[in-house]
Amino acid sequence: MQNSIAILDFGSQYSQLITRRVREQQIYCELHPWNAPRTQVFANNPKGFILSGGPASVYADNAPQIPAYVFESGLPILGICYGMQALTHALGGKVAPAPQQEYGLAHVKTLLPSALLPPGEQRVWMSHGDRIEQLPQGFASLAKTDHAPIAAMGDTARGYFGVQFHPEVNHTPGGRELLRRFVIDICQAAPKWTPSSIIEESIQRIRDQVGKKNVLTAVSGGVDSSVATALTHRAIGGQLQAVFVNNGLLRKGEAENVIRTFRETVGVRLHPVDAVDDFMDALRGVAEPELKRRIIGEKFIRIFEAQAKLLGSPPFLVQGTIYPDVVESSAPDRSQAQRIKTHHNVGGLPEEMQFELVEPLRYLFKDEVRTVGEVLGLPAELVWRQPFPGPGLAVRCLGEITPQRLERLRAADAIFTEELSSAGMLRLHRPLTRTHLPASFGSTSGRESLGVQVGTSQAFAVLLPVQSVGVMGDQRTYQETVALRAVTTEDFMTADWAQLPHDLLGRVSSRIVNEVAGVNRVVYDITSKPPATIEWE
């Protein structure tokens, strides 16, 4: 990779977001711990460095420091928040506690226009308790706020810059343009990170890894496993075999759609396994959420293990690991790697199976995965599928799981989905970025304000083990309750409840009560995350 940017993570909650913003400029970049070895950081021949924010103070004992190889490289540097302070500290400037902290929105006024900052004033997002008291030699103050006399600094000769604010967040409208100026204008990185280049490089890596040996993949209908399977099939064709385990916990018509898509659209050799009865038997009488998850994960692993043996135990296994999974396990102060989507991505298979993992999406974010899926020709309803939990409807059917209650939930969920789709509020549409817009599309600030289109980020029905009295046809009923959940979010770390039109909610409620036997009450969840989670279990 000849046009990459290296991002060093000093512990900021926004570090992954910096990476995504650089990728939006069609520039490949990787996020590394601040103390990553030189060989790791320079593996992709970076053309510049971005230093993230972080919670520490640079003058504190054992505070993270910039590795010497960053300065020895002679490459441009952009320090963000803590990164700016670390740059100042390392080069002989002075950082001290600010008499007035800045958290939240602020207005930055450019003092000295540069390759990084345009003239004028802009709104930014601040989050700092320290500030620059004395600039390092060779630097000039580029911008200020009411409480920070040095809100941005630069040494143009060396290509070293720092900003006290966070350009990566949406609350800084000009942030995307600032990052574009740094990676393209200052670092001279060429925008070559495109879907076609991603596919080409992934295909070559897969072929180099597996050679002529056979490969196994587990498909669930989820976006990650589907795109990983399609990409691997594009690379090695008939060497790939797929296993689909129908656990009976999928949404209405989903099992049939998965089988049809992978056989007809992708063309992969698919081996469906009807394990509905096995899962229902294992879950009989179980109501505790975590126990449900453990039972489903264990059952899936054992069924998949048996299928793998029937298919000759191929030495390679495709897994839909994506970049946030990788980052989470290697970021600073996060030494304990988290097990992510264990049974959903077959991450917990027994060691004695001795699979070598094939991870074609390992360096991609979710939005990049979706774009690759589109280019590979996968159906839009699969590529833009809303998140669905690994344990399926088991965690949306609260209380004991029975075939009857699952059918009740499936029917209610299908009605909610149909009505949202008819109203144009179901799908998470691709965000519009600078590269997707015509040159005549207004001002830079107008382009930067665009994001996810109107609609729900995730929406579903939940069946509650709560019965209430109702009246139907002049007769008393005592039946279950369905809760509707719909949220809007950009990152799923936080979420707000979707303010759906009342007439839409009314139609959904009326249809569920009239069409779903055993339900006489519908409620709508208006709780944000936090304090609630998106899923109920």
Domain boundaries, the chain: 4-186, 195-383, 396-524
- The answer to whether 4-186 and 396-524 have equal CATH topology is no
The question of whether 166 is a catalytic residue gets the answer yes
User: How sure is the predictor about 349, in pLDDT bands with cuts at 50, 70 and 90?
Assistant: very low
pLDDT (0 to 100) of residue 474: 67
Kindly list the distances between the CA atom of residue 510 and the CA atoms of 101, 375, 503, 524, in Å, as whole numbers in the listed order.
52, 40, 10, 13
Fold that domain 195-383 belongs to in CATH: Rossmann fold (3.40.50)
**pLDDT at 353 exceeding the cut of 70:** no
pLDDT (0 to 100) of residue 140: 95
Contact assessment for residue 45 and residue 1, using Cβ atoms and an 8 Å cutoff: yes
Q: Per residue, what are the HEC states of 291-314? A: HHHHHHHHHHHHHHHHHHHHCCCC
- The CA distance from 325 to 341, in Å, is 9
Give me the mean pLDDT over the 152-175 stretch: 93
**Catalytic residue (one of 24, 30, 102, 168):** 168
Which of 28-42, 136-150, 260-274, 330-344 is predicted least confidently? 330-344
CATH number of 396-524: 3.30.300.10
User: How sure is the predictor about 389, in pLDDT bands with cuts at 50, 70 and 90?
Assistant: confident
- The CA distance from 502 to 500, in Å, is 6
**pLDDT at 217 exceeding the cut of 90:** yes
**Catalytic residue (one of 89, 128, 166, 233):** 166
Return the SS3 of 261.
helix
What pTM value is reported for the model? Answer: 0.76
Name the CATH code of domain 4-186 (choices 3.40.50.720, 3.40.50.880, 1.20.120.1690, 3.65.10.10).
Answer: 3.40.50.880
Measured in whole angstroms, how far is the alpha carbon of residue 143 from the centre of its chain? Answer: 33
The question of whether 81 is a catalytic residue gets the answer yes
User: How sure is the predictor about 385, in pLDDT bands with cuts at 50, 70 and 90?
Assistant: confident
Give the pLDDT confidence of 290-348 residue by residue, as tens digits. 899 899 988 988 888 899 899 998 999 998 888 877 776 554 443 333 332 333 343 34
Residue of higher predicted confidence among 298 and 521: 521
Of 44-53, 323-332, 426-435, where does the model show the most confidence?
Answer: 44-53
- The residues near 264 (Cβ < 8 Å, ≥ 6 apart) are none
**pLDDT at 33 exceeding the cut of 60:** yes
Return the SS3 of 209.
helix
In 237-379, which residue ranges form alpha helices assigned H by DSSP?
A: 254-260, 276-283, 289-310, 323-328, 366-375
User: How sure is the predictor about 396, in pLDDT bands with cuts at 50, 70 and 90?
Assistant: very high
**Catalytic residue (one of 24, 30, 32, 81):** 81
| Mean pLDDT value across the chain | 86
